[in-house]
């Protein structure tokens, strides 16, 4: 049951302006020019302080000789598959937390084994994202779900909250795994394969505020800032406003649906109770009670779909836009601006493609869910017609 529905959440057992598409992007450079050897020269340190000996290529060029496992919709080779599932609650004297199983299948030679299964908690994902920001400052890093705030959910250990977070974490890893550069990052390799990543002594091991890349709200300030990136910023501002409006309206719809659902649950039993006092009207009244009950179930499903499938996608893209703010580190590397521009342009194109696919699927899915809701309600009331007809015929015969 959705957290927005009437029932209490269950506890857990032990994602006029010129069109962007019309703007030319005559920028090209190799990503390796920005960080020549910097990532490879540093020892990889996990959140628990343990060094990990891993290696990965600095670019996506080594993809060319990989064994192809599958192809995605864009025809790109995929040789790395990641899923997040099986959340479990852990209780200790110091804290209570949730871990998730992360399963990896790959044919990449950077991994010692073709398959890995590890357990990770939220702060491990947070560590990974910080490391990606540090080591790949010119790329757009996908967002994580919010750590503490999730509207409509009070208990962060409830099944609804945990499942919503699991889906978002799964989407995060899949976006990184599908990226031609981020997926080869050494920290990502360690996150997927290192068994001792979750052996930590406390919560203060991450120092993201002191180490992570800082972002500015107005975009980066370069003397020769390309016009197209200004247009991108304007588009993101407008897109954020639209998403905010849709989110507010969707929240209001869910609230009204939840209130209507509570009324329906009280409304149906009235007819059932009434039928016990009306022998002649017993069958029609019971029929109405059954119709209202079926409509209640259909409305509950629709409300859950909006809460668990529709709203999380909107919020993921709001967070995604925040993560697309350009780092101030770019101001320190004016001689590599062209490289930065090329990386940003490539990631922008990838983001736009993901956005089109995600929202096409989101809106089509919601249309189907609404059609199914009304079809169920119509079928429920149509099933009452034969009962009323039989009652009418019986009354005609007696008269």
Stretch 47-68: mean pLDDT: 41
**Is residue 381 scored above 50 in pLDDT?**
yes
Provide, rounded to the nearest whole percent, the portion of the chain with pLDDT above 70.
66
Contact by Cβ (8 Å): 83, 170? yes
**Is residue 114 scored above 50 in pLDDT?**
yes
Per residue in 269-311, pLDDT tens?
999 999 888 888 888 899 999 999 999 999 999 999 998 889 8
Stretch 176-186: mean pLDDT: 93
The pLDDT value given to residue 17:
40
**Is residue 200 scored above 60 in pLDDT?**
no
**Is residue 370 scored above 90 in pLDDT?**
yes
Per residue in 267-280, pLDDT tens?
999 999 998 888 88
**Is residue 125 scored above 70 in pLDDT?**
yes
Mean pLDDT for all residues in the chain: 74
- How many CB atoms sit inside 10 A of residue 310's CB? 19
How many angstroms separate the Cα of 205 from the Cα of each of 47, 99, 123?
6, 17, 10
**Is residue 333 scored above 70 in pLDDT?**
no
Q: Which residue has the higher pLDDT, 146 or 15?
A: 146
Stretch 246-264: mean pLDDT: 93
Q: Which of 11-25, 40-54, 120-134 has the highest mean pLDDT?
A: 120-134
Stretch 214-234: mean pLDDT: 55
In this prediction, residue 372 has a pLDDT band, given cuts at 50, 70 and 90, of very high
- How many CB atoms sit inside 10 A of residue 16's CB? 2
The pLDDT value given to residue 31:
39
The pLDDT value given to residue 44:
52
The pLDDT value given to residue 26:
32
The pLDDT value given to residue 62:
36
**Is residue 352 scored above 60 in pLDDT?**
yes
Which stretch of 20-29, 172-181, 196-205, 330-339 has the lowest confidence by average pLDDT?
Answer: 20-29
In this prediction, residue 321 has a pLDDT band, given cuts at 50, 70 and 90, of confident
Contact by Cβ (8 Å): 94, 204? no
Provide, rounded to the nearest whole percent, the portion of the chain with pLDDT above 90.
34
In DSSP terms, 98 is beta-bridged to 89
The pLDDT value given to residue 45:
52
Q: What is the 3-state secondary structure (H, E, C) of the chain?
A: CCCCCCCCCCECCCCCCCCHHHCCCCCCCCHHHCCCCHHHHCCCECCCCCECCCCCCCCHHHHHHCCCCEECCCCCEECEEEEEEEEEEEECCCCEEEEEEEEEEECCCCCCCCEEEEEEEHHHHHHHHHHHHHHCCCCCCCCCCCCCCCCCCCCCCEHHHHHHHHHHHHHHHHHHHCCCCHHHCHHHHHHHHCHHHHCCCCCCCCCHHHHCCCECCCCCCCCCCCHHHHHHHHHHHHHHHHHHHHHHHHHHHHHHHHHHHHHHHHHHHHHHHHHCCCCCCHHHHHHHHHHHHHHHHHHHHHHHHHHHHHHHHHHHHHHHHHHCCCEHHHHHCHHHHHHHHHHHHHHHHHHHHHHHHHHHHHHHHHHHHHHHHHHHHHHHHHCCHHHHHHHHHHHHHHC
The pLDDT value given to residue 60:
35
The pLDDT value given to residue 390:
78
Q: Which of 75-84, 142-151, 169-178 has the highest mean pLDDT?
A: 169-178
Indicate whether this model's pTM tops 0.75: no
Q: Which residue has the higher pLDDT, 122 or 8?
A: 122
In this prediction, residue 266 has a pLDDT band, given cuts at 50, 70 and 90, of very high
The pLDDT value given to residue 256:
95
In this prediction, residue 27 has a pLDDT band, given cuts at 50, 70 and 90, of very low
Per residue in 151-175, pLDDT tens?
444 577 888 888 989 999 999 999 9
User: Starting from the edge strand earliest in sequence, which strands make up the sheet with 115-121, in order?
Assistant: 80-91, 96-106, 115-121
Q: Which of 188-197, 261-270, 328-337 has the highest mean pLDDT?
A: 261-270
């Amino acid at each position: 049951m959705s957290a927005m529905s009437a029932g209490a959440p269950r506890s857990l057992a032990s994602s006029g302006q010129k069109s962007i598409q019309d703007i030319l992007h005559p920028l090209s450079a190799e990503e390796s020019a920005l960080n020549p050897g910097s990532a490879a020269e540093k020892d990889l340190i996990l959140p628990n302080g343990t060094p990990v000996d891993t290696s990965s290529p600095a670019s996506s060029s080594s993809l060319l000789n990989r064994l192809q496992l599958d192809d995605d919709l864009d025809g790109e080779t995929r040789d790395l598959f990641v899923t997040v599932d099986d959340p479990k609650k852990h209780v200790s004297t110091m804290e209570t937390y949730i871990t998730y199983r992360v399963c990896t299948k790959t044919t990449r030679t950077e991994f010692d084994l073709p398959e890995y299964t590890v357990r990770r908690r939220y702060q491990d994902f947070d560590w990974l994202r910080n490391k990606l920001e540090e080591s790949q400052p010119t790329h757009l890093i996908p967002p994580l779900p919010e750590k503490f705030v999730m509207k409509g959910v009070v208990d962060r250990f409830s099944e609804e909250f945990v499942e919503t977070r699991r889906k978002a974490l799964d989407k995060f890893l899949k976006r990184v795994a599908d990226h031609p550069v981020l997926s080869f990052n050494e920290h990502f390799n360690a996150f997927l394969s290192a068994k001792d990543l979750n052996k930590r002594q406390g919560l203060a091991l991450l120092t993201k505020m002191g180490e992570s890349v800082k972002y500015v709200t107005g975009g980066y300030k370069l003397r020769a800032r390309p016009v197209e990136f200004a247009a991108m910023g304007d588009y993101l501002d407008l897109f954020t406003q639209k998403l905010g409006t849709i989110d507010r309206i969707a929240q209001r719809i869910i609230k009204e649906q939840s209130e209507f659902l509570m009324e329906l649950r009280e409304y149906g039993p009235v007819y059932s109770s009434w039928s016990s006092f009306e022998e002649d009207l017993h069958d029609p009244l019971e029929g109405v009670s059954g119709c209202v009950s079926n409509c209640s179930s259909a409305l509950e499903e629709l409300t859950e779909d909006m809460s668990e499938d529709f709203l999380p996608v909107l919020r993921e893209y709001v967070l995604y836009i925040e993560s697309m703010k350009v780092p101030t580190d770019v101001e320190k590397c004016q001689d590599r601006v062209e490289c930065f521009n090329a990386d940003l342009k490539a990631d922008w194109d990838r983001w736009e493609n993901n956005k089109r696919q995600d929202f096409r699927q989101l809106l089509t899915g919601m249309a189907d869910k609404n059609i199914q809701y009304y079809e169920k309600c119509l079928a429920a009331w149509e099933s009452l017609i034969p009962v009323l007809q039989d009652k009418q015929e019986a009354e005609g015969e007696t008269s």
